[in-house]
């Protein structure tokens, strides 16, 4: 990851640090949907649903969140990074199913070519063990996998960032054309064990929905949506 992400990562991990321990009460059903929006502030409504906005999530001149057709629409108007983070406590879930799509990819976005930018990424955090970020300036974090849609990158190949080499991976789960609706069924359990060399997969301790166009070419504009996220056993 880039040095510009340090404040973003610090904020993200600060929230992760408060996530429930393994003995906490079970969380609600592991399904996230965006129907029933009553109007008004999208961010305030998302907060009521358990999401905490971080970084540019509260800067509508950079990133605009809205609800349309029961979808969470994420529009990066210029180079920006924003995160919506939700604490979870889901045990035994091995897959994640995401209904989503990208209407505009950031210019030049390609993890394979070193342009780490995406119109939408879904983060899944695992367990409560904190692993080193690799920097004294960036707090440690639980394991996580960042899942995104790509245009031409290899599907299923895990990428490392500048930080969190021990416990963080980024993976294109599906290729998508701009404007195409995708249903991604990604095996987070098997991926965790393969990416991190572990025999067991910890419980799911956090869920994030993010956009990061800071490293893209051009003006950093991007447009994507998420309709539904479900964890499956």
40-55 pLDDT, tens digit per residue, is 999 999 999 999 999 9
User: What percentage of residues in the chain have a pLDDT greater than 70?
Assistant: 88
Q: How confident is the model at residue 63 (pLDDT cuts 50, 70, 90)?
A: very high
CA 205 to chain CA mean position, Å: 13
Average pLDDT over residues 152-174: 95
- Lowest-pLDDT choice from 22-31, 74-83, 113-122: 22-31
pLDDT of residue 45: 97
- d(C-alpha 178, C-alpha 184), whole Å: 15
pLDDT of residue 139: 85
pLDDT of residue 1: 37
Is pLDDT larger for residue 179 or for residue 18? 179
- d(C-alpha 123, C-alpha 169), whole Å: 10
Is pLDDT larger for residue 96 or for residue 136? 96
pLDDT of residue 171: 98
pLDDT of residue 29: 53
pLDDT of residue 7: 43
Average pLDDT over residues 63-87: 97
pTM: 0.88
pLDDT of residue 136: 87
59 neighbors 149 (Cβ within 8 angstroms):
no
Q: Name residue, tokens 């960036």.
A: 138
* Tokens standing for residue 96: 């994640």
pLDDT of residue 138: 82
127 neighbors 116 (Cβ within 8 angstroms):
no
- d(C-alpha 54, C-alpha 80), whole Å: 12
* Tokens standing for residue 63: 């990133």
- pLDDT of 164 > 70? The answer is yes
108 neighbors 72 (Cβ within 8 angstroms):
no
Q: List the CATH code of the domain at 3-232.
A: 2.60.120
pLDDT of residue 140: 86
Q: Name residue, tokens 């300036």.
A: 137
- d(C-alpha 8, C-alpha 56), whole Å: 9
Which residues neighbour 20 within 8 Å (Cβ) at sequence distance 6 or greater? 27, 87, 89, 205
* Tokens standing for residue 28: 């609600």
Whole-Å CA distances, 123 to 25, 53, 68, 209, 218: 22, 14, 22, 6, 25
């Amino acid at each position: 990851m880039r040095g510009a992400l340090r404040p973003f990562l610090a904020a993200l991990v600060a929230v992760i640090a408060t996530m429930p321990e393994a003995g906490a009460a079970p969380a609600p059903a592991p399904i996230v949907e965006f129907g029933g929006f009553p109007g008004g502030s999208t961010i305030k409504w998302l907060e009521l649903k358990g999401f905490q906005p971080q970084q540019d999530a509260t800067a509508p001149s950079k990133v605009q969140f809205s609800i349309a057709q029961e979808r969470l629409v994420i529009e990066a108007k210029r180079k920006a990074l924003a995160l919506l983070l939700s604490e979870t406590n889901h045990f035994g879930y091995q897959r994640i199913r995401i209904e989503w799509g990208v209407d505009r990819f950031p210019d030049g976005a390609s993890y394979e070519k070193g342009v780490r930018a995406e119109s939408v990424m879904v983060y899944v955090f695992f367990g409560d063990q904190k692993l080193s970020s690799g920097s004294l300036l960036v707090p440690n974090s639980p394991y996580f996998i960042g899942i995104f849609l790509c245009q031409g990158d290899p599907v299923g190949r895990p990428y490392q960032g500048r930080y969190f080499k021990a416990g963080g991976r980024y993976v294109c789960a599906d290729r998508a054309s701009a404007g195409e609706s995708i249903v991604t069924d990604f095996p987070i359990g098997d991926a965790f064990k393969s990416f991190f060399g572990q025999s067991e997969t910890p419980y799911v301790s956090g869920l994030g929905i993010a956009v990061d166009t800071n490293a893209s070419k051009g003006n950093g504009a991007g447009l994507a949506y998420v309709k539904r996220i479900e964890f499956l056993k």
